[in-house]
Structure 1
Amino acid sequence: MEALAKAYEARSKKINKVETIKALKDPMEVYERLDEIAQAGYAELSKEDSSYFLKCFGLFDKGEDFMLRVRIPGGQLSFEQAVRIGEVAKEFGNDYIDITTRMQVELRYLRIEDIAKVLRALKEVGISTFQTGVDNPRNIVTDPLDGIAYDNIIESMPILKQLQEIIGENPEWISVLPRKFNTGILGSMSNSCNIFGHDCNFVLANSEGNFGFNVYLGARVGIQAKDADLFVMPEEVPAFFTALLSVFKKYGYRDNRNKNRLHFLLQDVGIPAFVEAVKKEAGMEFSQGGRTLVQSQNIALGANKVLLKNGAYAYKIIVPSGIFSGTDMIAAAETAKRYGSGDIRLTYDQNLYIINIGTENLDAFEKSELIGKYAVYNNLYFQDMIACAGTQTCSYGVIPNKPDAIEMAHFLNSEVPIDGAQVRMNWSACPKGCGVHGIADIGFEGCKAKDAEGNRVDGVHLFLGGKITRGAKEAHILHKALPIEEAKYHVKYLLKTYADHKMRGETFEAFETRFFNKNYSYQAISFFTKINYIMRDRLGLDVMFELDKEPASGRREEYELFTFGLKLFKLLTGEKRFEAVNGLAPTLARPRKIKRDEVSRLNPDVPPKLSEVIYNMTHENKSERAQVFSELLVALKEV
């Protein structure tokens, strides 16, 4: 414990304002006054209640109304619970529901006078909203098909329920942590809940023939969890979890809120020292890490129907950007009861499953009204899309986001339809990253950008190459501050390359590793999408600059830049920039003497600035050539 105590002492000179607020009262005092607050309205609501204490119970003051986070452990809803959520949304929340990446729901547009009634209605069917905001252990996620999928080895929900009982509505854990704490537990082979993306992750593993969990710790936005080299058996999970929370509660930082997540404590003291402290707190010795078994993406990725262990089916309803309604939640529950077991499973990617549909009912189920309504979204670009709340409902949002994600998905489906493909596109409306854009195949982070005329417009930072498999990693930023209207074309060219060169059944994640990442630098890929946008969509040229399957230049930027220039010269003029001599490589061939506007002279549709860019890429004197793609991207802004 010495290392933790020392680190805590170094960071305890000053506490943040939120810690000062937390010391003012017991959160349960506010919860017990909800009837009074409902009757008196905003006059009874203190600043600290609005800014902090109500958030402990999922209530977020939006000025004229409230948003309510509803805790749904493991994303599992019974028929009665789903119906009640739908009824509450219809009666009190403008019939609106958001499905979130923590496999729970958010109700919006709730009036202050209805808050107590809403919470009572939910509690009647066993639904809690406790600890869904601020400095609390948040909703625990797992495989949405836990216990019923073929690849499920350990049923996680019984363990998850034990963890939920530990924290649940237990005042001992309400508002006592230094910062929010996310947990995932996965007993399946496939990664269906972003299992490496939480503060604490219990990941299916095997040690000496025993199935249990390897522990990964310390994820946050932009950072994947690290292997703690620790193996816990299913029956040991509750003790480990309780001890971990206790150590974090005691030694977690309480000064700079931007650096108070578990990640920063681990960064300072190291995972081994932290693990030793947890062992001491638990009074137990846990085994050394085993072999992590979660290696693939979700087996249901890109699929609507999944055959289950019992011979029945689970059917995934694609909910665009997680925007649902109370009416359709009730319809989903009734459809689930009519054709299946009546249960609903919410997913990490903001969709839902209706489970245990018998083969004898499957045909009628697929012809039902609800399934028909959402069938339009059964395509590549909606199936695995995530988008957090944007400017309409979130004060942090920079762009509308959910509508942007939906519009782009429709655009891509019309421009690049691909059969047998899988691609994950995640949208975050701001740098907080609630849409987990950093682990997407193609990620979008909301920002402001300037269009070609210099106007300030909604934009995105565009990311490529996130991984959620065993080798989880964050995506690489490909373009900064692209107008959204332009970004969709950049994505189109990435996906067209995928369509042209992918192997049968190859996911975009696997393709990015094999094709993009192996053969090209990210700078080259950035230039590739930009030059096609300029040529085809800005200038209207009937040409397409394509990437080679096995480029001669490899990933060395200076050679990539030169070979790209040669291809562009030939593409736009029909002539070779260098004349081959006895079969020598272009770098050894004899250059043609040309002027900066040569490409424009040979092809009048090419503006002089683009001609100059290609000239600089292929200058006959190597020392005079452009050295990096970034300078060319700047120059292309003038085209």
Structure 2
Amino acid sequence: MSVETTPRQAPAARPNRQAGKATGAWADGDRTPLNHNEAFKQDDDGLNVRTRIEEVYAKEGFESIAPDDLRGRMRWWGLYTQRKPGIDGGQTASLDPAELDDQYFMLRVRSDGGALSTVQLRTVAGVSTEFGRDTADITDRQNIQLHWIRVEDVPEIWRRLEAVGLTTAEACGDTPRVILGSPVAGIAADEVVDGTPAVREILERYIGSPEFSNLPRKFKTAISGSPSLDVAHEVNDVSFVGVHHPDFGPGFDVWVGGGLSTNPMFAQRLGTWVSLEEVPEVWKGVVSIFRDHGYRRLRNRARLKFLMADWGPERFREVLEKEYLGRALVDGPAPEQPSGHRRDHVGVHAQNDGRFWVGGAPVAGRVSGTTLYAVAELAERHGSARVRLTAHQKILVLDVPEEETAAVAEGLEALGLPAAPSEWRRGVMACTGIEFCKLALVETKARARTVVAELERRLPDFDVPFSIHVNGCPNSCARTQVADVGLKGMVQKDDDGNLVEVFQVHLGGGLGTEPSLARKTRALKVRAEDLPDYVERLAGRYLAQREAGESFAAWARRADEDDLR
């Protein structure tokens, strides 16, 4: 696939300035690249790298890959070089990128809305076992991430994926990434509105198009009509959240400008209601504003959240309506706070058609190709042809006849995906970590498994929702700041001069209609091997001090610092 870029006409707009300096925003009228990333994107659209992968790199091997393709444009097709084994976290920030690169790739497969047929799941599983050393992780972006991929195998992998309707297009890069959607869209009995048609229209019209293949940074979308608020809408660039309008009925409330990482900001409501049919048009308007007005000079200020922080929701809505939509939008209500809902959809639940879904919980999303293949076989054996991935690293089997639910639950349990997991397993998430990620400082997946196993052994009867999010670096891919216990990986020297893994602890974060960032307690760091002891101590103090009905997050926000150590 080759893509020819075409000039884009941005609307007349006010210059964006940061402390008197040009921001690099295209709307200012000067498209001179102000950093290397902007230069290589202007030189050649990232989507064009596919031709070189197929015709050159897959034939001539890793050493033939041009640097800007290797560490830049290949991301437009879901490919990142993974971390070379044996490099400790102390060297993450000091080594040249070429020294960190292994000659293997991580590959992300798009599954927008987390939706996969069993045929598609089996295909991904086959790619994993044949080309990826049986690796597979379910991410909190509702897609599957594979490792150990050789560039020589990429064309055949694409052929197999695309034969069943899957793609890796724009799974990474400065593009519209995979669209989060309710994993129970279209089947939940309490759903406000099914956002699936809007997800599909955006995919068909805009993903893989040069119109939006050169954004200032990545762009994250969420569309969900679930009253459980199940797609972390508070921390996406744009989210459409199901609401009932008193005059117009079911539709969506629009949130813009969320994101975590080192500068966490929650999305802000535009205060407008849009119908299901309007979602793609409004989405296009928001992403166009980001493309044209987003700050391109500094990569660390290039996310939409910084533009929203400077403009505010009133101005953002005004520009959206007047300069991109050409019409006013309807004012609308905010979503209601969920009451008793669990966002992850784990367990056995009735659908709106008389059938059931069964949700299982891997530990921090870590599965394998072998496991995914077995899930596809299990689902089909009991009358299902669909699975869904969740934004909480879980997997659901849909459309199960009531009489088959027990068998499906037992089958998932046997695969290490229990439908009735402990609160420790249910609430844990983890990013990729130092095992594969070039930005990571510490191990995450194995650490999460160890912590869960120890807490299940020590506190088997703990029955309160409790989230532990383990991150290998400050970038918060596993949403550190909005967990009950958020763990940000770091390295430091011990008294003997040895490098040790530690975690900075964030406590009491949460999402919802009134989201809150976690509390950082002064100088609170915990050694990796001490995490089970620390969380056990913390949970005990919470149980002893909590008020009736008080969540851990609420307790942690009011507790004395000494009780949080």
Superposition misfits of 4+ residues, deviation over 6 angstroms: none
Structure with bigger helix share is 1
Map Cα deviations across residues 264-323 of structure 1 (whole Å, 9 max, x no partner): 112222221221111121122101231323535743658422222223221112111211
Deviations 1:541-570 (A, max 9, x none): xxxxxxxxxxxxxxxxxxxxxxxxxxxxxx
Question: Are 2:61 and 1:41 aligned?
Answer: yes
Question: Deviation digits for residues 127-168 of structure 1, max 9, x if unmatched?
Answer: 011111120001010111111122211011111111212222
What SS is found at the alignment partner of 2:509? coil
- Which is further off, 155-164 or 29-38? 29-38
Partner-residue secondary structure (3-state), 1:138: strand
**Is the 2:482–2:516 Cα contact (8 Å) retained in structure 1?**
yes
1:282 is matched with which residue: 311, 314, 325? Answer: 325
The residue that corresponds to 1:486 in the other structure is: 530
Are the counterparts in 2 of residues 65 and 110 from structure 1 also a CA contact under 8 Å? yes
C-alpha contact (below 8 Å) 2:117/2:386 kept by paired residues: yes
Letter aligned with residue 517 of structure 1? R
Structure 2: gaps (5+ residues): 1-10, 25-31, 83-101
Distance 1:449 1:480 in 2: 14
1:254 aligns with 2:296: yes
Give the Cα–Cα distance (whole angstroms) in 2 for the partners of residues 364 and 295 of structure 1. Answer: 31
What is the identity, as a one-letter code, of the residue corresponding to 2:543?
A: A
Query: Distance in 2 between the 1:230 and 1:91 partners?
Result: 48
Give me the whole-angstrom Cα distance separating, in 1, the residues matched to 2:502 and 2:163.
44
User: How far does residue 347 in structure 1 lie from its aligned partner after superposition?
Assistant: 0.8
2:78 aligned partner = 58
User: Where does residue 352 of structure 1 map in the other structure?
Assistant: 395
Matched residues in 1 for 2:564 and 2:547: separation? 21
Between the aligned partners of 2:313 and 2:343, the Cα distance in structure 1 is 33
Q: Is the 8 A contact 1:389 1:401 kept in 2?
A: yes
CA 1:268–1:364: 2 relative to 1, 3 Å: closer
Asked whether the equivalents of residues 462 and 487 of structure 1 are also in contact (C-alpha less than 8 Å), the reply is no
Correspondence 1:87 to 2:126:
yes
> Quick one: distance in 1 between partners of 2:225 and 2:337?
9
Q: In the alignment, which residue of structure 2 is the partner of 1:167?
A: 206
Look up the equivalent residue of 1:342 and give its one-letter code.
A
Aligned to 1:395: 438
Larger Rg: 1
1:244–1:252 Cα change, 3 Å: same
Within 1, Cα distance between the matches of 2:556 and 2:104? 47
> Do structure 1's residue 427 and structure 2's residue 452 form an aligned pair?
no
Letter in 2 for 1:34: I
Match of residue 467 from structure 1: 510
**Aligned equivalent of 2:88:** none
Q: 1:20 aligns with which of 39, 52, 59?
A: 39
1:614-625 matches, within 5 Å, as none
2:145 is equivalent to residue 70 of structure 1: no
Deviates more, 1:357-366 or 1:328-337: 357-366
The whole-number CA distance in structure 2 between the counterparts of 1:140 and 1:424 is 23
Aligned partners of 2:547 and 2:356: how far apart in 1?
A: 28
Q: 1:202 aligns with which of 240, 248, 260?
A: 240
User: Is 2:405 the partner of 1:405?
Assistant: no
CA distance in structure 2 between the partners assigned to 1:135 and 1:380 by the alignment: 36
Name whichever of 6-15 and 145-154 sits farther off: 6-15
Corresponding residue number in structure 2 for 1:98: 137
Q: CA deviation at 1:395?
A: 0.7
How is 1:118-517 mapped onto 2 (pairs within 5 angstroms)?
118-174=157-213, 176-209=214-247, 210-221=249-260, 222-280=264-322, 281-296=324-339, 298-299=341-342, 301=344, 303-368=346-411, 371=414, 373-375=416-418, 378-449=421-492, 455-478=498-521, 479-500=523-544, 506=549, 510-513=551-554, 515-517=555-557
Q: CA deviation at 1:78?
A: 0.5
CA contact (8 A) 2:131 2:153 kept: yes
- Residues 376 and 308 of structure 1: is their aligned pair in 2 closer, same or farther, counting only changes over 3 Å? closer
Q: Does 1:31 align with 2:50?
A: yes
Q: Which moved more, 1:326-335 or 1:480-489?
A: 480-489
The 8 Å contact of residues 375 and 412 in structure 2, kept in 1 or not, is answered as no
Distance of 2:410 and 2:63 partners within structure 1: 51
Q: Give the CA deviation at 1:392.
A: 1.0
Q: Which has the higher contact order (CA 8 A, sep 6+)?
A: 2
* 1:444 shift after superposition: 0.6
Separation in 1, partners of 2:154, 2:531: 41
One-letter code of the match for 2:365? G
* Per-residue CA distance 1:518-562 (angstroms, 9 max, x = gap): 4x3xxx2x31243xxxxxxxxxxxxxxxxxxxxxxxxxxxxxxxx
Contact 1:191 1:296 in 2 (8 A): no
SS of the equivalent of 1:64 reads strand
Q: Does the CA contact (< 8 Å) of 2:47 and 2:77 recur in 1?
A: no
Contact 1:448–1:457 at 8 Å: present in 2 too? yes
Native 8 Å contact 1:192 1:297 kept in 2:
no
| 1:10 alignment counterpart | 22
Contact in 2 for aligned 1:302/1:383 (Cα 8 Å)? no
Scaled by the length of structure 1, the TM-score of the pair is 0.77
The letter for the 1-side match of 2:528 is: I
Distance 1:294 1:4, change over 3 A: farther
Separation of aligned partners in 2, 1:160 and 1:82: 20
Structure 1 alignment gaps of length 5 or more? 531-639
Determine the C-alpha separation between the residues in 2 that align with 1:135 and 1:455: 38
Partner letter of residue 65 of structure 1?
Y
Is contact 1:328-1:370 (8 Å) kept?
no
Distance 2:196 2:415 in 1: 31
Q: Note closer, same or farther for the CA distance 1:420–1:502 as it changes in structure 2 (3 Å cut).
A: farther
* 1:372 Cα deviation after fit: 5.3
Report the Cα distance in structure 1 between the residues aligned to 2:546 and 2:405, rounded to whole angstroms.
Answer: 32
Aligned length, in residue pairs: 520
Q: Which of 523, 528, 540 is residue 563 of structure 2 equivalent to?
A: 528
- Percent same amino acid at aligned positions? 28
Contact 1:85–1:326 (Cα < 8 Å) also in 2: yes
Instruction: Specify the SS of the correspondent of 1:183.
Output: strand
Change (3 A) 1:297 1:166: farther
* Partner Cα separation in structure 2 for residue 435 and residue 202 of structure 1: 21
TM-score, normalised relative to structure 2: 0.87
8 Å Cα contact 2:347-2:419 kept in structure 1: no
Q: Matched residues in 1 for 2:326 and 2:36: separation?
A: 35
| Paired residues of 2:16 and 2:293 also in contact (CA < 8 A) | no
